[in-house]
Amino acid sequence: MSVSATDELAAWKAAAVARGYSYQSHIRGPLLRGLLFRTGDSVVATSLVSALQAATPFFAGSVNGRYKIDEQDSRSVSSSFVAIPLARKVPNVVLLGQGIDVLRSAGIALQSRQKLSIDDHFEGPFTLYSHGGHEREALEIFTPEFLSLLSETTDGCDVELIDTWMFVYGRPGRFGSEKALEDIERLTKHVKLNVLPYIQPETPLGMEPAEPIEAPVEDADAAARLAAREEREARVGAIVTGRNALDARSREIGRLVGVGIGAFALGAAAWWLLSDVLFLV
């Protein structure tokens, strides 16, 4: 028996609340450092679960926005995402999953990055890119074990390391069920046990951050621009709807007029014939 998207979303929300996580329906222009949040237009994050105060913190949901292709055109990109806070700044590393194309569609620049060779014994659908001088750090973080876990829990993803965050981007709707929440917790547990000790070895395992990590807030300017755009689109939609209704009414009137004229002509012809018959009689 298939499960509807509404039921999945309800299960996602219920599972989050049961674990003590907070849930938020949407944030317009969320202030996050990931590429899909900082470069897009009309960016909206939805179905958001915040576990930033948990032992293995994360912030997850879905994101949609428009991203420039060139000066004239842009495209809409949708993705599920998990944002995982890290202990300190890390090199800007990009991991691209085969067939995902989230970061490529959003305009990620790879020209200045070096393509790295992942462990020869690992066979997986990933390509790793890093700036020069950070190759060792990138390979220490993206171990074959971690890549296998990413494949297993996301069914394909792109990953971006930037500043003090790791962003895992998946297919739209991927993170929207209780099972997905369990997979996210497996990822964040691995990051805590294997990535954090590497990037900040002087920090004892299990030590809480000095300052609490706050949930992303709405970008007021971006939210205002998005609201204005939605209002304009609603007005245009109303005008188009009214015009279509008027065109449909005009066509109906034209059809009725045509029918009336046809009936009149038919009546006139019948009367003419009847008049000739009466005349002959």
Find the DSSP H helices in the chain. 5-18, 35-38, 102-105, 135-141, 144-154, 178-190, 196-199, 220-280
Together in a domain, 134 and 203: yes
Together in a domain, 147 and 244: no
Together in a domain, 246 and 116: no
Q: Of 218, 241, 256, at which residue does a domain stop?
A: 218
Together in a domain, 197 and 237: no
State how many domains the chain has: 2
Q: Of 175, 191, 218, at which residue does a domain stop?
A: 218
Together in a domain, 125 and 183: yes
Residue 29 gets which letter from DSSP?
A: S
Question: Range of 206's domain?
Answer: 5-218
Together in a domain, 147 and 137: yes
Together in a domain, 25 and 113: yes
Together in a domain, 176 and 94: yes
Higher-confidence residue: 255 or 99? 99
Q: Of 190, 218, 246, at which residue does a domain stop?
A: 218
Together in a domain, 147 and 228: no
Together in a domain, 9 and 90: yes
Together in a domain, 208 and 233: no
The pTM for the full model equals 0.75
* Residue 217: pLDDT band with limits 50, 70, 90: low
Render pLDDT for 104-141 as a digit per residue (tens, 0 to 9).
999 998 887 888 877 665 667 899 999 888 888 888 89
Together in a domain, 163 and 262: no
Render pLDDT for 26-46 as a digit per residue (tens, 0 to 9).
999 999 999 999 999 999 999
